[in-house]
Amino acid sequence: MLKTLAAYAGAVVGTFLLGSILATQFILGNVADMGLDVSLGVRLQATLHDIGGLAVTYLPLIAIAFLIALLVATGLVKVFPARAQGLYLLAGAAALVTLHLTMKALLGLTGIAATRTAAGLLSQALAGGFGGYIYYRIRCSGVAAANAEGSTPAEGSTPAEGSTPAEGSTPG
């Protein structure tokens, strides 16, 4: 349970940080395209400012989107255990795209300005995929090591559940 919580927290924070950084750089790229000088110092200062400012709004939205997406992915991993890494990565990417498209459709707003373009929305999907990968690496790390050594998870268990016989095993 603690491993799952750590994986979830790591995924949410990793997604938030990468998503915030990418969003800031997209906007500053647009500013630079208008002919204004955007120094490395300005980029760093703006990035840190945005991370602080977005922590109050974007971080909780990512947490909610990831909760839903990772629950769905975990259900799918039980059916397709060999696809755990791809499913969690896809879940993270889908969580961010769904979050932004839902805000636009229901509220008529673009919460992250960079997502007004396909490239900006794709950058947020990339951040979500990164978070999904973090979740997979933390949550499924013991299973991957056990499988590499030649042992296999208990019958009926999945990589997301671990490799101990007590978890998720099915009776004989």
Structure tokens at 89: 């990565």
CA distance 58 to 18: 12
Q: Residue 170 gets which letter from DSSP?
A: P
At CA 117, angle to CA 61 and CA 43, rounded to 5? 75
For tokens 């690496």, name the residue. Answer: 137
Residue 83, CB-side half-sphere exposure with 13 Å CA sphere? 11
Residue 146 pLDDT more than 80?
no
Q: Predicted confidence band at 143 (pLDDT cuts at 50, 70, 90)?
A: low
Q: Which of 33-37, 114-118, 130-134, 155-159 has the highest mean pLDDT?
A: 130-134
Structure tokens at 44: 């760093």
The whole model's pTM is what?
Answer: 0.80
Q: 97 and 125 in contact (C-beta within 8 Å)?
A: yes
